[in-house]
Structure 1
Amino acid sequence: LKCQSLDIKHMMAFIEQEANEKAEEIDAKAEEEFNIEKGRLVQTQRLKIMEYYEKKEKQIEQQKKIQMSNLMNQARLKVLKARDDMISEMLSEARQRLANVAKDPSRYPALMEGLILQGLYQLLETKVTIRCRKQDVQVVQASIQKNLPIYKAAVKTNLDVHIDQDNYLPQICNSGGIELYNADGKIKVSNTLESRLDLMAQQMMPGIRVALFGANPNRKFMD
């Protein structure tokens, strides 16, 4: 019986040892699988986090570009407005100086003669009505008398010119000049000083802009 008891004890110890080894093996394998799964999950989450922040970074960079573009456009518009304001002030000052020309008796009559003769050549009509400021009627009458022989000699036709003393130029044309109409009033030549200034400003504006602000580096074609 003693031998059987020892054998049983040895067998139980062997079984227990084998069970412990098997349990340790299972624990080790479970620990390994756990670490592998943990590493996989950590790597997956790391990739997701990196992808999230890369996406956020791209969004922020895009927003920065949009904001920078908006700021540049706003600055460009402010520069353009400042330039337009400067040109408007310059033209306004020129209009104020024109008013002084009309007050100069040594310059205004000769200027009026040129405006009238030029208008007659532009119309080339046999009957012409001239509209002027009320205070310029005498100057216009004298200019007509002086220009009629010159016009007739050049065009070889008679010309009937009269001043419209029922409708004078509006007060807005305070710088002087004249308007000329054909017989039925459908054709008009505006030779007021303001209209001449506007025409000259339009023609000279590219050169004025270059003189004031320099050449535009983005302009590809020149007139």
Structure 2
Amino acid sequence: MALTDADVQRQIKHMMAFIEQEASEKVEEIDSRAEEEFNIEKGRLVQTQRLKMMKYYEKKEKQIEQQKKIQMSNLMNQARLKVLKARDDMIRDLLNESRERLAEIAKDPARYSALLEGLVLQGFYQLLEPKVTVRCRPQDVEVVQAAVTKIIPVYKEAVKININVRIDQERFLPSEICGGVEVYNDNGKIKVANTLESRLELMAHQMTPEIRVNLFGANPNRKFTD
């Protein structure tokens, strides 16, 4: 039986509706898959960026921590240097005070004469030369001469040899020093420095470790005291 135009139109509409339904379902499927893939890619990108940010801030945190350690170390070193300087200044002040007190010794004639006798005699013993020259401050010539006269017999008795002593009255020690003498051998190449300042410096060098311990206590990190 032949189809009428109306039947053909109905079939065409039916086919078009079926095609439209298929197309609509396909579109929804594509949209759903696209959204799923988008969400997966978005999650992957977010996770990647999150890991990058975590690594970045972790690196920054380590850098900051390292800078804090360096700054703390620098501050500790600066504080330690300040403490050491303050200690050195205190010891220097003690030595300066000692030098000022040395100047008072020469103002006591009896005490200063006895001290000069010991300093000159020590110079003789250190040189053990038959001829020596003694150099002193210009204001000490007489008291040094008296000391030399007094100790020559003591020296001869101790070492069993003679000694010829000359007091240098052409080249004196600076008058502003605290006192004492320098004793030279005959050719002037060997010198025993027995000025009060030189004795103080020697004593200070020897006693500085002990002074530090007495003032500031023992340093647990110091292996040697010299």
2:131 is aligned, of 127, 131, 140, to: 127
What's the CA shift for 1:128? 0.5
Structure 1 SS opposite 2:220: coil
| CA-CA distance at 1:59 after TM superposition | 1.5
The structural deviation recorded for 1:222 is 5.6
Q: Residue 75 of structure 2 aligns with which residue? A: 71
Q: Does 1:109 align with 2:118?
A: no
Q: What is the TM-score normalised by the length of structure 1?
A: 0.96
Deviation, structure 1 residue 49: 1.4
RMSD: 1.2
State the distance in 1 between where 2:224 and 2:102 align: 34
Q: Counterparts of 2:41 and 2:200 in 1: how far apart (Å)? A: 85
1:166 to 150, 166, 170: 170
2:27 is aligned to 23
Q: Which runs of 5+ in 1 are unaligned?
A: none
Q: Deviations over 1:116-141 (max 9, x none)?
A: 11110000000000001111111111
% identical equivalent positions: 73
Alignment of 1:210 with 2:208, yes or no, is no
Distance in 1, matches of 2:120 and 2:37, equals: 106
**1:189 corresponds to which residue?**
192
**What is the letter of the counterpart of residue 9 of structure 1?**
K
Matched residue type, 1:190:
A
TM-score by length of 2: 0.95
Alpha-carbon distance in structure 1 between the residues aligned to 2:162 and 2:175:
33
How far is the alpha carbon of 1:70 from its aligned partner?
1.1
How far has the Cα of 1:221 moved from its partner? 4.4
Aligned residues: 222
Gaps of 5+ in 2: none
